Structure 1
């Protein structure tokens, strides 16, 4: 008995649940009644293979697979599927007013509909943005299906929806009168939106021509991209503009997004002046411009589903790039970056919410459906404000620069006035002196005229002689000035020669002191010990010979240095550097072959130089032989000789990969006489000293850059001739 009771109770609950479910999902229409957001009251079947026919859908097998929706406005994101929709309507009274089924998403590629009453198809048709707008039965931006609801009948509606973009299903049933009545307020809002965008477009276009600023043109491109995309998404562009161009209607959304990304990044480049102030950040915007161009090309060449996905994700990334760029430039104290960042942050919120809705991550609400329009309005207004603010700053800077220029002009005029006054004063003094002299001459003339008229001829002669004397005086002053200049140049040259003679005297005393002292010591040994054994004598004599050779080498080095001081201007000639290098290679042939050195010469900048050939041969010889001597034992020697012209200098560089020099330790000693930094090879430490001295005599310079175990580069700077 108890068991039967529980069975009865469970049966009642089961029947109650079924009735409740049926009550929720059933669509029962009374006259003048309307339904919005029917997602939970209609059924859906996903055909991922795109193969099901309407006859198959009517079979019990597939009828059992239909499921009721879980949202009032179902969204399927960017899934590649064919969606079947089943709508069951019960109507028990006579409907005098015609009803319609509205699908409020105007970008579907194709909608095939079938209307059945009493299992008989009473109407069928095809809708979508693949056919001309003028061929629609009811001219509306959304897809409208007319319904005939007869008394006591049950009507079944089947929709076969195929779309390569997002699938969003805001489905409603209402009277035709209600359809157009509800459109009034919505169309007014859209009219305000388009009006604001068009006004901003025309206003900034006029500013672009009046202010002659390219930034306004880029800004107009942003507004145009927004208008193209949003008007196409809302169905107004297809309804009013290209109603007979369905091909363009299916590509304009991706094209508009690409245009918007291209214009926004070009605007950011121009507005923030990244090439001038942030060259390292410049490539980010250039990369996004390249992405925009790819999107525009894909809009006309790639499959719509692919190009739309690329455009949506690129749009989101582009907004993030612009937002973080604005924040970065704001942190760098760029004045206009604040409003720029605010504009993109507002628009980014709109793009983010709208994109997430299209991808199926957010539900369809009035906010997610229209947030893009609000974001676009805020963006264009704030960007327009930022442009105005920027040009106000430019005008302020221009005004400050003009005021500064006026101050400088005033100072200049004051200086010119003072100079004119001084000149007038000097002219007045000179005029007074001349007038005084003229009066004296007139007095003398009067006296002479009173004494003898015959002196008139003598006066004329004197006057002519005075003229010649003045010319002679002027010429003498010019000669004295020239002679003074020559004497100053000679004195400077004498002072330089005296300094060089003092250095030479110091070097002579310093370099000869040691070998002479050793020679004196050895001869003194011979005087003190005359009975020294023969072998010791021979050792002493050998030492004396060594010191004599050392003294001879020092004297030869000093003579070589003296030779550097000779006049080189008369010995200048045009030298073929390739020939000089070839000659040096011939001299160092054995050393080059033994070391396995690789010597390369880049003479693309120049191959000839007007100079003293002996000095150039010596410089090439010393630098190449040093590179061979001090090569690294860890790698093959590579010596690169390069040429370059910079301003008024001809530059020859010798770069090797040898042992290198510790410049921090030896920088002040590098070009000293008898300075050596590696003792594992023979040498006197005179080569770099000679090179530096020769370059100074030639009027040039030598520079060195070196790292231990990496190599050394000597740079020779010759005066341009």
Structure 2
């Protein structure tokens, strides 16, 4: 029933759109709304790229133009501003998704403001940014809205693009957005599946019949699919996420290749040279135009290139259908399906061009006219090829009768030659017998060598089994050590008891880890620490066991609450227990880098001390950064150095982050570099408004994309640990 409701809603929006009245009605989000089209509840205006948003919020409503048509503006040289009022009327919390279903916009910025409030949330989007910077991983531009009930909001959009600007927009509930995404991708899968089947089918026929027309038929199909997948956003999402600039070349290049290949196919399929030199000249002209357009795609302005490409595509479609009609009237009977195919495609391409230019409204029919025309063109051209093959087969049958007589004459000649050849083969057979005996002698020697090799292989296999058993024992020991190490780590429930809004992202490089986290809670204080011991694997795990034991002694037994003093004592114990036990060149250099946070529950005060590692915090969208001291635990002189205690008074909701250096040091990305401290801080600032568990998921997803970008996979180089928690006064 939900799908039927959506279809009826879309049909009514296309046939009888609702226009804006004197006052802009709000988009009312109530319990019954799953998805809502908002094209006709918008005000807009155009400027010269210099309007400041803070001034815009206070601008009177009559400064905007009421939208009285579908939001299809065609090619614009100015910046477009849109204003959309939203009223949230749902009785419970509900996530919403705001979608702009045009993936070919260069730049757009979405602002969400609450009525009567100065603060706002904004998102920067557009195909000029790398795909992985999007908030929602989707081919269209989607941003999440978290709205309070019975509250008036305003959504502002700032848009500029060198492509045609049409802005089909909807607001979805989370369930409706998932349903829409799955249904939409299923339809695209059917479309691309049909194209793939037709391409493979005609390629198989080409390899079977060796008819060049089937190969030439495949080339414009491939060009068309490249353009459509770029137009729909799938190219950018799946093929070149790290190369936003490539998006500006794919479309024009695909159009120019389509013009060239479709004209070449027409020349070959209709045998144009045999019927009309004028039609032949027109098609050669289209091939030349396509070649010039291909070169201009790299040299010209993108907006000019796309406008010329749209017009050239329409002209080419008209030339092709006109050529088919003329050749059919000249007596080429298998041109009938060719004409019908290009009639459908011409209708689709003209509708697509007029929509891109802003002449016709953008709706579900006009946006998909090109896909429908392409499908009909492909199927009808396949029929045209089959029709042509039928005419050729009839001619072939007439020729076969004359060939049978010639074959009889050839058979008699062949029999005579066979007899002569048989006598020659008898002589060759005698020579072959002599060489066969020599080969048998050599085979005996080879058998003897094989017996020797089999004995050697048996010895190698025994050694392999012995090594495998030893490896299994070693691995079992390390796995048991992993269980011991996990047992000393604090439970998630204990940490969330002290810090209800928190997450821990913990990814050991090996089975056991040199990174570990530590937690302790008292009625007055809550302790949380992220520790990076020297090395990783088994050596690091041993250090983590020592560090966990010493922290219990200092905090629990000695009742120390000052983080700087905790680090001083830990530094002292590490130097006493490890470094002074061995003198001279054999002295141990092991230690640890760590962040220690202590939360005073009564005074809402967070104290921090760090050994090399910093504390990050975000309060009211302001990013704070406190550096740790420059000495690792175990390397500081206990007589002359003390670790510094820093204080952060919590007067408003604040997000805190502590981490080891494994995440920032991970290699990957488009040019195989480290993530680095700056990008890590940018990530925290970007995701800090999400719930803590979603922040952890976002960090992990970015890490996976960073390690697997550009078609290659980088190995994890170190243990990874990130802890985030949210505190309120």
Give the 3 Å change call, closer, same or farther, for CA 136–32 of structure 1 in structure 2: farther
1:112 to 109, 113, 117: 109
Give the 3 Å change call, closer, same or farther, for CA 413–231 of structure 1 in structure 2: closer
The whole-number CA distance in structure 2 between the counterparts of 1:23 and 1:361 is 27
2:149 to 140, 148, 151: 151
The whole-number CA distance in structure 2 between the counterparts of 1:183 and 1:200 is 26
Contact 2:94/2:146 (CA < 8 Å) preserved in 1? Answer: no
The whole-number CA distance in structure 2 between the counterparts of 1:182 and 1:294 is 41
Shift of 1:59: 4.4
Q: For residues 605-644 of structure 1, what are the structure 2 equivalents within 5 Å? A: none
Q: For residues 130-145 of structure 1, what are the structure 2 equivalents within 5 Å? A: 130-145=128-143
Q: Deviations over 1:601-622 (max 9, x none)?
A: xxxxxxxxxxxxxxxxxxxxxx
Which residue matches 1:370?
368
Shift of 1:341: 0.5
The whole-number CA distance in structure 1 between the counterparts of 2:243 and 2:23 is 45
Which residue matches 1:317?
315
1:91 aligns with 2:88: yes
Which residue matches 1:495?
none
Which residue matches 2:282?
284
The whole-number CA distance in structure 2 between the counterparts of 1:112 and 1:122 is 12
Contact 1:346/1:378 (CA < 8 Å) preserved in 2? Answer: yes
1:52 aligns with 2:51: yes
Q: For residues 310-349 of structure 1, what are the structure 2 equivalents within 5 Å? A: 310-349=308-347
SS in 2 for 1:256: helix
SS in 1 for 2:72: coil
Which residue matches 2:99?
102
Shift of 1:237: 2.1
Q: Deviations over 1:629-652 (max 9, x none)?
A: xxxxxxxxxxxxxxxxxxxxxxxx
SS in 2 for 1:25: coil
Q: How many residues align?
A: 392
Contact 2:26/2:84 (CA < 8 Å) preserved in 1? Answer: no
Which residue matches 2:186?
188
SS in 1 for 2:113: strand
Give the 3 Å change call, closer, same or farther, for CA 413–352 of structure 1 in structure 2: same
The whole-number CA distance in structure 2 between the counterparts of 1:403 and 1:182 is 61
Give the 3 Å change call, closer, same or farther, for CA 413–192 of structure 1 in structure 2: closer
1:396 to 394, 397, 402: 394
Shift of 1:257: 1.1
Contact 1:34/1:172 (CA < 8 Å) preserved in 2? Answer: no
Give the 3 Å change call, closer, same or farther, for CA 140–32 of structure 1 in structure 2: farther
The whole-number CA distance in structure 1 between the counterparts of 2:194 and 2:139 is 21
Give the 3 Å change call, closer, same or farther, for CA 88–334 of structure 1 in structure 2: same
Q: For residues 510-589 of structure 1, what are the structure 2 equivalents within 5 Å? A: none
Shift of 1:410: 7.7
Give the 3 Å change call, closer, same or farther, for CA 384–152 of structure 1 in structure 2: same
The whole-number CA distance in structure 2 between the counterparts of 1:382 and 1:50 is 48
The whole-number CA distance in structure 2 between the counterparts of 1:76 and 1:23 is 22
Q: For residues 90-489 of structure 1, what are the structure 2 equivalents within 5 Å? A: 90-117=87-114, 118-406=116-404
RMSD: 2.4
Shift of 1:52: 2.2
Q: Deviations over 1:325-348 (max 9, x none)?
A: 111011111011111111100111
Shift of 1:236: 1.9
> Which of the two has greater helix per residue?
1
Which residue matches 1:42?
42
The whole-number CA distance in structure 1 between the counterparts of 2:59 and 2:53 is 12
Contact 1:225/1:259 (CA < 8 Å) preserved in 2? Answer: yes
The whole-number CA distance in structure 1 between the counterparts of 2:378 and 2:267 is 17
The whole-number CA distance in structure 2 between the counterparts of 1:391 and 1:267 is 15
The whole-number CA distance in structure 1 between the counterparts of 2:58 and 2:150 is 25
Which residue matches 1:617?
none
Structure number with larger C-alpha Rg: 1
Shift of 1:147: 1.0
SS in 1 for 2:394: helix
Q: Deviations over 1:302-356 (max 9, x none)?
A: 1110110010000000010001111101111101111111110011111111211
Contact 1:103/1:143 (CA < 8 Å) preserved in 2? Answer: yes
The whole-number CA distance in structure 1 between the counterparts of 2:376 and 2:119 is 50
Which residue matches 2:78?
81
Contact 1:340/1:382 (CA < 8 Å) preserved in 2? Answer: yes
Shift of 1:65: 1.8
Contact 1:32/1:97 (CA < 8 Å) preserved in 2? Answer: no
Contact 1:343/1:383 (CA < 8 Å) preserved in 2? Answer: yes
SS in 2 for 1:88: strand
Shift of 1:84: 0.4
Contact 2:263/2:283 (CA < 8 Å) preserved in 1? Answer: yes
Shift of 1:298: 2.1
Q: Deviations over 1:696-721 (max 9, x none)?
A: xxxxxxxxxxxxxxxxxxxxxxxxxx
The whole-number CA distance in structure 1 between the counterparts of 2:66 and 2:335 is 50
Shift of 1:101: 1.0
The whole-number CA distance in structure 1 between the counterparts of 2:90 and 2:397 is 79
SS in 1 for 2:236: helix
Contact 1:50/1:82 (CA < 8 Å) preserved in 2? Answer: yes
Q: Deviations over 1:375-403 (max 9, x none)?
A: 11111111112112212322322232232
Structure 2 alignment gaps of length 5 or more:
1-19, 413-729
Contact 2:37/2:171 (CA < 8 Å) preserved in 1? Answer: no
The whole-number CA distance in structure 2 between the counterparts of 1:235 and 1:409 is 59
The whole-number CA distance in structure 1 between the counterparts of 2:315 and 2:71 is 26
Normalized against structure 1, the TM-score is what? 0.52
Give the 3 Å change call, closer, same or farther, for CA 412–87 of structure 1 in structure 2: closer
The whole-number CA distance in structure 2 between the counterparts of 1:199 and 1:225 is 16
Give the 3 Å change call, closer, same or farther, for CA 56–122 of structure 1 in structure 2: closer
Shift of 1:30: 1.7
Contact 1:25/1:40 (CA < 8 Å) preserved in 2? Answer: no
The whole-number CA distance in structure 1 between the counterparts of 2:175 and 2:230 is 25
Q: Deviations over 1:568-624 (max 9, x none)?
A: xxxxxxxxxxxxxxxxxxxxxxxxxxxxxxxxxxxxxxxxxxxxxxxxxxxxxxxxx
The whole-number CA distance in structure 2 between the counterparts of 1:121 and 1:87 is 17
